[in-house]
Structure 1
Amino acid sequence: LLLIALGCFCYASGLAQDGEIIISEQFRNSSLSTVMERLEANYQLQIAYDDGLLSQITINQSINGLTLQDALRQLLEPAGLDFQVLSGREILIRPKPEDTRQEGQMVLRGQVVDALSGAPLPYAAIIAEAPFTGAEADENGAFTLRLAPVQGPLKIKAQYIGYHPFSLFLSPEQCQKYQKLRLAPHIQEIEPVTVSSHPAVLSTRKDAQSLTIDATQLSRLPAFLGGNDLFRQMQLLPGISAHDDLSADLKIRGSDGDESMILLDGITLYSISHFFGVFSAINPEMIGEVKLYKNAFPAEYGGRTAGVIEMASKQPAVDGAQGAAELNLLMANAFVATPIGKKMGLALSGRITGRDVADTRLYGLIRDENPLANRLLGNGTGAGSTASSVLTTEP
């Protein structure tokens, strides 16, 4: 009983509620005669057709839930064929009758295909010369070209992007037959093309809370006073104040510089300013990546209210030594890294400002509390022996 029920269900799956036969098939580069054989086998149909004519037509279509008549109309009309349902499952396929043409016209039907694979070439252009007229193939490469009556041979030309044009001469008798135009691919050898680009300096990557900065690409950003400064270049980002040229502090969302947490390899840094706050003390050559949290940041970073700057040192290369140096009129940077084992490396970095440029006689008077008294009392300690009460920060 179970087998009988399953058989009835499978038979009913190809029928609509009112007894109509429903077709759901996919055809890829199949001849129309093969399509008819498949429909006969799958839907218990009896189809009469000209096998020589249908075997020349290639079908590349998908039919999803169409009735038998709609499916046949979709398959046959582009090829200039008609059908007649003699009974529920008996079908006759034939060329469209001549009365569908306009009086005094010839109708050329055919298909444009690839000469190597036989695949249809959709939307190919078909042109007839003298008299000049043209048509466009459909998605299956099938076309219908209406021609004025001619006495001699007619030149037909088919074109498609990436293929050599194909031309042939047809007599009026040949124009009445179904033509398959085979186009050969136009193969061109071009020189190799290399596509390259710089990695993004700023990216959100997978963490939407933070902004990830590739410190190795900072040289592409505008530099402060002619040199790379990690914190100065981060001041160019949205949400960070950059109105004070004499301070390298990161003032996120209008906060003060000391309200942000600064981490280097998990170690909290409490002072990153140098030379009275004009420069930062972080050597950008030793930093590999920076994560900047300007809005919400993870709960593990506590004790601050503005934001978090999480820096990671550059990993030393294990295949050889590497280094970098920068020198200008105001500062100098140096970075050296070398492997000392298979799983260990040593990295040294330094950063210094050109303080000797400012260490002049005027600079010494500013730092000395009472230079005149020292001279009168014979105190030969010299300028700069006592820190000024105004400028108390050592460079």
Structure 2
Amino acid sequence: MGCSFLGPAQETRTILEYDKVPLTKVLLDLEEIYKVRFSYKADLLEDKVVSLKTHEVNLQEILRVLENDTKVSIESIDDRYFIVSEAKVIFCGYLRDESDNSPIVGASIFDSNNTRGAVSDDNGFFKLEKVPGNATITISFLGYQTLEMDGKDGNQEDCPIYLMIPEFEELQEVVVREYLAKGVSKSNDGAITTNPQQQEILSGLAEPDVLQSAQLLPGIESPSETATGLYIRGGSPDQNLILWDGIKMYSSDHFFGTLSAFNPYIVKEMKVYRSGAQPEYGDRISGVLDIKLEDELPTKLKGAIGFNLTHADAQLKVPISEKVGLIVSTRRALTDVFDSPTFNRFSDKVFQNTRVRRNQEFFEPEFTNSTEEFYFFDLALKTLAQISDKDKLTLSTLLTRNKLDYSFSDVDFADNSSDLLDVENFGVNAKWEHKINNVSSLNFQSYFSSYQLGYNGVDENTAFVETVTKDNAIEEFGASMRHQWNIGKNWSLSNGYQMFNNKVDFALRVNDFTEGESASNNSHSLFQNAVFKTSKGQVQLGLRSTYYSIIKSFLVEPRAYAEQKVASNFSLKASAERRVQSISQILELATFAFGLENQVWALANGDDIPLLTSTQFTGGFLWNLGGWNLDVDAYYKNTQGLTSFTRGFQTTTLDFSEGKSKTMGVDVFLKKKWKRYSTWLGYTISDTNFEFEQLNNGNDFPGNNDIAHSLTWSHFYQWKNLQFSLGWKYRTGIPFTEATGTVTDGESTVIEYGELNAGRLPDYHRLDASLSYEFKLAKAKDVRGRLGFSLLNLYGRQNILRKDFDLFQVTDSEGNQNIILEENTRLSLGTTPNLVLRIIF
């Protein structure tokens, strides 16, 4: 090396000459010449050598030469210190459809290292700047297979064309890209699609929850303030079809509805249909929530661990070979390890008006012994095998469990009680996807779903001993075949066959009294769906035809959906459908004293449990302009086959009665976005009425969970890696039946009730907030963290969720026993904090 000095350190002009000298040696020379310091990882520069010959150059000119020759990035912190890292490039390109070379508009492109991203424009063009070479670039768009590429493949001089391969489903156009928030979109078949892993933070959620996110949509309510108690446009929770990677779910909650049983961090997307469901969705008459797991073959080991104030979770994506990969996730409650303020608030809400809390309130703690053990757990596995360019196999498995073990004893009164509740759901689904050619594909699935609920309760004192047991079991096997044919740009046709076998058992035993039923049903369905799509809209016509062995009947369910753009920013939409359901939940009173899980699943039998049917029509419009989005839906639903057993009314009679319901309503959604800030308003006006010939003198009356008005106002703001959300929820109170007194006939005393559901609870409202911050972990490659915080019910409003009445026997000061009427109210959550920490690697 030769050198000469012509001025001060930074402006010194030097003559350099190197021949295959390690870059580390060159940097040491520069440190000595220019009195600077370089910071770098030794393994990054291990194989890099320098060969150059310069004339008189200063430090900045030398560094630019080294960057170009060795593909590193050298950035100055100040005048003396520099950081040497892997070279950052501009990653750009044009996205095209493989089948017709048309540009793909609105695809998401993001860099895994710093989570910044881009969206492809009208020409399919995108550009990411300052991309590290070790980053993974992910390109995704609804209806296409996701692309993953190394950042080092970026090209600053040439932006190549990337071909995206269609996934052979009915390709739906996204009409609103950020519906509630980023990661939530609406397509022109009426479905709302949520991607939990790309979703911005929502009010009240420190981390994503797929079922709680759905409650923010107009027309979806949870009167019980639970994650899983979803009432969709007048339908009840058991009337919703919930699919987890093709497995039909019968238990979708943890902690008695407080949390959903689905880990959001392995979910690719959840589609929510409030109406207009396609004909492949059957055996439920209300909403559809189709949850699909990630389906990309892992190319390198990735994972995450997380903790919040109720549970811990972990996920791994493992490449077993070039064609086989594994995705694993698990969650486990921390409730039996330590008490947190979050768990305590949840417990206060869940166990109020149950034997657990009544014992605590009635008896003196120093004279009692009690144990309360509760935990929940879920485990999900998915194996993927890309056996050829045209064939893909997947095997998905889910196990969820909730267990409560409670015991109580009081020495003075010789009162003893115990309650053991165990709820388990297991499912497995095998799927084979076969690509016939560029326009046609086949999909074969076979699944098994098992639901087991077991309860054993004992209540003992000096006067009596009562033993109650309850068992409810479902074993369901299903198989399906689906063929998809895309006929040019405008037409697509799907058709298939589904078979389900249900075996449902329930048994109730109170001392020597036993009641139960065991039934099975085979159903065979053919479905067809034709879609005609143009640049201005689409029309779907579908038909589902099903034979039910349990009632020996063949039923037809037509489906139709249409959306048409009548102006550049204004579209009209409408749907009509008929739906059928053969299995539903009925109310049982044997576990009333326990106070939890007092419903059981039962099959329709054409007698006291009829088949449920519904007819629904919707019409509305979608308008967007200048960052404003307005979505309006009006709907009408008529449901037949309701019974007093399935709805559960507070009356003096428990006799069987069959009825129907009618729901009319309008859902309104309005959103505006300004750069980092967005706000949206959701409003629903609806009216649900029941009509039972043998109840209320045959007159109609408000439905049990009729909510006349519901309003949600939410705000979102992002500053760099910090996200903040604030949301206010208001709704009118649900109906209840007022007790007017008691009637005694001999030794029996019963409650006398007024007009069915004539009373209304007070209006409900609360304010929720959430905060999240993403950060990189120092000196850790491809490792980042996330902190989340949420606060539910900021101003501590005590909302009444339910009101009912009961009779209690009390002894006065003179030893006389009296029967008194007592009002029971179930209150909402108090102010509830939650804190989340996640490490992603």
Answer whether TM exceeds 0.5 for this pair.
Answer: no
If the length of structure 1 is used for normalisation, what is the TM-score? 0.43
If the length of structure 2 is used for normalisation, what is the TM-score? 0.21
Flag the structure with higher helix content.
Answer: 1
- Greater CA radius of gyration, 1 or 2? 1
Flag the structure with higher strand content.
Answer: 2
